[in-house]
């Protein structure tokens, strides 16, 4: 069983997956930092409120109120935390936008690398043509169609 597990774990796909997950975790840290440390403060400066997660409505509560979400939770009040949802949506949109920009930049970099490194390949000359009489595909060198026996112009 140990040999079978070793064979399974050492397969190429498993190693590719492990490397991908490690790089993905590091990439996640970069994107999260970019969103939290660069874009969110900028958005807070523009909008005027850095964090929406403290926006809530007390449901029921028998007339009790709280100034902050933490205070409401401490009092055991049931709250509808719409601000946390708004913050999650903003974080998602910003992260998606950052990933879009990174992927777009990587694609542009890859395209420019192709342009610098390779000459354009010549297109292969066609080896077949269509018979104008029976519409069958035939050799480009044919002088007579093998299907309908029509004589072809050169």
> Number of structural domains, the chain?
2
Residues 117 and 149 in one domain: no
Q: Is the pTM of this model over 0.95?
A: no
Whether the CA torsion 135, 137, 138, 140 is positive or negative: it is positive
Across residues 39-65, what is the average pLDDT? 79
Residues 130 and 102 in one domain: no
Confidence of residue 130 (pLDDT cuts 50, 70, 90): very high
Residues 19 and 75 in one domain: yes
CA atoms within 13 A on the CB side of 15: 5
Q: Do the beta carbons of residue 82 and residue 57 sit within 8 Å? A: yes
Confidence of residue 118 (pLDDT cuts 50, 70, 90): low
- CATH number of the domain within which 59 lies: 1.10.1200
**pLDDT over 90, % of the chain:** 6
Residue range(s) defining the domain that contains residue 145: 123-154
Residues 63 and 131 in one domain: no
Confidence of residue 38 (pLDDT cuts 50, 70, 90): confident
Q: Do the beta carbons of residue 31 and residue 95 sit within 8 Å? A: yes
In a domain, 6, yes or no: no
């Amino acid at each position: 069983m140990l040999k079978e597990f070793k064979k399974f774990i050492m397969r190429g796909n498993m190693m590719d997956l492990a490397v991908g997950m490690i790089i993905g975790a590091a990439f996640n840290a970069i994107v999260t930092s970019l969103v939290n440390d660069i874009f969110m403060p900028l958005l807070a400066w523009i909008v005027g409120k850095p964090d929406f997660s403290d926006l809530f409505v007390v449901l029921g509560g028998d007339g009790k109120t709280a100034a902050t979400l933490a205070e409401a939770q401490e009092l055991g009040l049931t709250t509808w935390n719409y601000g946390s949802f708004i913050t999650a949506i903003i974080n998602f949109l910003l992260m998606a936008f950052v990933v879009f920009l990174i992927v777009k930049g990587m694609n542009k970099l890859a395209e420019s690398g192709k342009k610098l490194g390779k000459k354009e390949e010549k297109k292969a000359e066609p080896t077949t043509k269509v018979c104008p009489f029976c519409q069958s595909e035939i050799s480009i060198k044919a002088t007579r169609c093998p299907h309908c026996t029509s004589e072809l112009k050169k």
